[in-house]
Amino acid sequence: MRRREALRVVANESVGPYSLIRVERGSLDPGSPGQFFMLEAPGRPLPRPMSLCQAPPGELGFLLESIGPGTRALAAVEPREKIHVFGPLGNGYRLDVERPLLVGGGIGVAPFPYLSAVLGSPPAILGFRSDWHAEAASLVPNAEVVVEPTLVTERLRPDHDVLACGPEPMLEAVRELAPNAQLAWEAPMACGYGACYGCSVEIDGVLKRLCVAGPVLEAA
């Protein structure tokens, strides 16, 4: 069940250009891989959606890329500070897959450490724009890493069940090659639980709230 709680920051570590923020779990349920939490961004009016990256005993871990004011505020949190965390939210990956293959690009790697732990370390193909960004691949076991100009789609294995997360052009390209893939999409989100309609996207010709219908959707 989703809850909102002020959780103490245990650590804020750099992983290449990304920040791995670990907080005490409190009474929050980690949920299922691919679900997300709304994290208070200190000093900002709205929280920011983040996929759960790691769920070690007693903790929740989030991997984030600083791209704007909210993520910059989150990347600056210090151990012992408390931030409000709300979740788990949305629909994660369907886990009844026979031959999983995780396919991620950039910060899209964020949900994979938890997903990989739950699925028993399946193979992964991870793409990054530089060797520095590729340091995040160390969080995902059994990963083949490609760095631009090589793209993850060049290494896709069509006989696998693809579970993907990454930038929209990557997801579109994966969808073309693996029509049965599960894809984790993004949209700006203000509430995370269906109240604000800020995350409305067109799915099958109908406007749907991504926070409720997704963020993981079947490619088909």
The residue ranges that bind ligand FAD (CB under 6 A) are 36, 48-51, 62-65, 67-71, 107, 110, 186-189, 215
From the CB of 80, what's the least distance to ligand FES, in Å?
Answer: 30
Residue closest to 216 by CA, chosen among 111, 133, 106, 116: 111
Residue span binding ligand FES (CB under 6 A) among the ranges 16-24, 135-143, 159-167, 190-198: 190-198
The single-letter DSSP state of residue 153 is: G
From the CB of 215, what's the least distance to ligand FAD, in Å?
Answer: 4
Residue type, 59: E
Q: Which is nearer to ligand FAD, 71 or 153 (CB)?
A: 71
**Separation CA 193–CA 9 (nearest Å):** 24
Q: Which is nearer to ligand FES, 124 or 211 (CB)?
A: 211
Whether residue 74 contacts residue 110, with contact meaning beta carbons closer than 8 Å, is answered with: no
Whether residue 192 contacts residue 36, with contact meaning beta carbons closer than 8 Å, is answered with: yes
Q: Rule CB under 6 A: is residue 46 a binding residue for ligand FES?
A: no
The secondary structure element, H or E, covering residue 7 is: strand 3-15
Out of 107, 171, 191, 213, the only residue in the binding site for ligand FES (CB under 6 A) is 191
From the CB of 70, what's the least distance to ligand FAD, in Å?
Answer: 3
The partner residues of 124 in beta bridges, in order of sequence, read 102, 143
Residue ranges that bind ligand FES, judged by CB under 6 A: 189-192, 194-199, 209, 211
